[in-house]
Amino acid sequence: MNKTSNKRAVIVGLFIFIGLLFLIAGILIVGNLRNTFKDKMKVVSLFDDVNGLQKGNNIWFSGVKIGTVFNLQFYGESQVKVILNIETSAQQYIRKDSKVKITSDGIIGKKILVIYGGTSKSNEVQEGDTLEVEKSFTSEDMINTLQENNKNILAITTDFKVISKKLVAGEGTIGKFLNDNSVYSNINAATISLQNASEKAQKLIGSLAAFSEGLNKKGTLANELTTDTIIFNSIKTTVLQLQSIADTAAVFIANLKQTASNPNSPIGVLLHDKESGARLKETIKNLESSSKKLDEDLEAAQHNFLLRGYFKKKAKSSNADK
């Protein structure tokens, strides 16, 4: 009697134990499987570079989580095929011409896939469709482009400086200059490139403004910048180069003014030439406004907490020089 009841107790105990184990395991696992109960569809996207995107990263559409990255596979020579798992409830909002990009979520956040755009002209996305990718620029890319731009502008403006100097000093060569069509066309070409350059500079300063705005905004690139000294240094050189561009532009304008006051100078030609005159004016305006913006940006940069230290150091060293 005693024996049988004991045996029963052991068996019942065993079942309770197994039951509890299953219950606990169930609770812990079901939480992660919860989303599998929602209807899902798969969409594909091809990336050159996924920037560390991982399986299971979230997919956002208009800031709403609508799915996860299902899988990543190498594709073709160097591309990555990303398979997205998207809730079918979001299907109606995603169009075939919607685009995909990779960004990150917060300061130290994980990578996320963002689906955006799309026009009602296109149909709803369907299972297995491929969504186009827009290349995303990293901050590094942007700064590299900026630097190249700067170099170009610097070269152009240096040329101009030389030319305008010659104009000022070149009384003896006026005739030659006037008769020399190649010089004229050179100036013309240079003016055009200067115009382009100054437009670029303006754009550059625009992006710099946006960039520094980003710096001021809490928790975007701040972390990256503080930890990445290379980027910090590139910003520093960019700023310095911009300063020298502005200097050169100022010299150039001063030279031009001086030249214009000389009735014998070839500027007359330029002034009479309506097209090039207007172009030159615009160039100067552009340069002026860009230098103003640059001033503002530098001002902003000085107040930026990340660069504050750098400027303080600079002020200290200039004080020490005095």
Partner 1 sequence: MINNNTKKYIFSRGIDDYFTGVHKAYKFTSLFFKEVIKKPFHIREVINQCFEIGIRALPLITLTGFIVGIVFTKQSRPSLEDFGATSWLPSLIGIAIVRALGPLVTALICAGKVGSSIGAELGSMKVTEQIDAMEVSAINPFKYLVVTRVLATSITIPILALYCSCVGLFGSYINVHTEETSSIISFYQDAFSTISFLDIFTGVVKSIAYGLTIGLVGCYKGYNATQGTRGVGKAANQAVVLSMFLIFIEEVIIVQVSNWIRYF
Please give the residue ranges that form the binding site for partner 1 (CB under 8 A).
1-3, 6-7, 9-14, 16-17, 24, 27-28, 31, 34, 107, 218-219, 222-223, 305
Kindly tell me which of 67 and 118 has the beta carbon lying closer to partner 1.
67
Residue 21 or 162 with smaller CB distance to partner 1: 21
Provide, rounded to whole angstroms, the least separation between the CB of residue 221 and partner 1: 13
Q: Smallest distance from the beta carbon of 5 to partner 1, in angstroms?
A: 10
**Pick 34 or 272: Cβ nearer partner 1:** 34
Q: Per the structure block, which two tokens stand in for 99? A: 């685009």
SS3 75: strand
Which DSSP category does 124 fall into?
B
Nearer of residues 108 and 320 to partner 1, judged by Cβ: 108
Tokens for 322, please give them: 């005095």
Minimum Å gap between C-beta 215 and partner 1 is 13
**CA quadruple 256, 257, 260, 264: dihedral, nearest 10:** -80
**95 DSSP assignment:** B
In which element (H, E) is residue 74 found? strand 64-75
**143 φ, ψ to 5°?**
-70, -35
Virtual torsion, Cα 170, 176, 178, 182, nearest 10 deg: -110
If the CB atoms of residues 154 and 306 are measured against partner 1, the closer one turns out to be: 306
Check if the beta carbon of residue 276 is closer than 8 Å to that of residue 191.
yes
CB of 16 to partner 1, least distance (A): 5
Tell me the closest approach of the beta carbon of residue 107 to partner 1, in angstroms. 7
